[in-house]
């Protein structure tokens, strides 16, 4: 297993059938000492699985329907890493050193953004069902009260 993918061949099928642009993935190599595609998929899995933004199921616990979406998210995260990890590492390194502006391109960094792990919007959209936050509305109900007013009554103007 490579995260949510059973094999590297399964991930390769995703890139050849579901993603139009694949040059960053295609540029990853496999040698006798390093398999960059497996490493990239593993790092992508780790980034989304251990992200505090989501509560994702373990690969063995995901349903077949969930796996379809989780594999897409992992593959898209892998593509992002293949394309942008070197630049991200450089920028995050500068931010960790407290740099607020850098380079001839006049980059400026938002204060406090250095501790945020980048996850591309397409991946975040795929993982919305596992968001760790809550959209549950707050509800108030009547409980044993000493007052004669219900929770629905405006008591701000009572004398």
Return the pLDDT at 12: 96
Measure Cα distances from 125 to 35, 77, 97, 140 in Å: 29, 12, 31, 31
Q: What is the pLDDT along the chain (159 residues), one digit of tens a residue?
A: 999 999 999 999 999 999 999 999 999 998 888 999 999 999 999 999 999 999 999 999 999 999 999 999 999 999 999 998 767 756 666 655 666 666 655 666 566 555 678 899 999 999 999 998 755 555 666 666 566 767 777 777 766
Q: Which residues contact 14 (CB under 8 A, 6 or more apart)?
A: 5, 71, 72, 75
Whole-model pTM? 0.72
pLDDT of residue 154: 77
**3-state SS assignment for residue 50:** coil
Query: Which one, of 117, 135, 138, lies nearest residue 53 by Cα?
Result: 117
Write down the pLDDT at residue 95: 59
Listed by start position, the domains of the chain span 8-130
Structure tokens at 50: 């251990």
Distance CA 21, CA 38 (A): 19
Dihedral sign from CA coordinates of 45, 50, 53, 59: positive
For residue 149, CA distances in Å to 142, 145, 152 come to 9, 8, 8
Q: What is the pLDDT of residue 84?
A: 84
The gap between the terminal CA atoms of the chain, to the nearest Å, is 68
The predicted structure's pLDDT at residue 118:
86
At residue 67, the pLDDT reads: 97
């Amino acid at each position: 297993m490579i995260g949510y993918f059973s094999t590297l061949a399964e991930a390769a099928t995703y890139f050849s059938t579901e993603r139009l642009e694949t040059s960053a993935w295609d540029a990853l190599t496999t040698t006798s000492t390093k398999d960059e595609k497996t490493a990239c998929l593993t790092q992508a899995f780790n980034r989304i699985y251990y992200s505090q933004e989501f509560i994702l199921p373990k690969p063995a616990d995901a349903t077949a329907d969930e796996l379809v979406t989780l594999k897409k998210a992992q593959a898209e995260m892998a593509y992002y890493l293949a394309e942008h990890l070197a630049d991200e590492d450089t920028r995050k390194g500068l931010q960790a050193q407290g740099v607020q502006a850098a380079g001839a391109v006049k980059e400026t960094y938002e204060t406090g953004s250095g501790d945020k792990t980048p996850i591309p919007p397409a991946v975040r959209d795929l993982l919305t069902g596992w968001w760790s936050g809550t959209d549950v509305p707050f509800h108030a109900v009547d409980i044993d009260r000493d007052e004669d007013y219900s929770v629905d009554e405006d008591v701000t103007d009572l004398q």
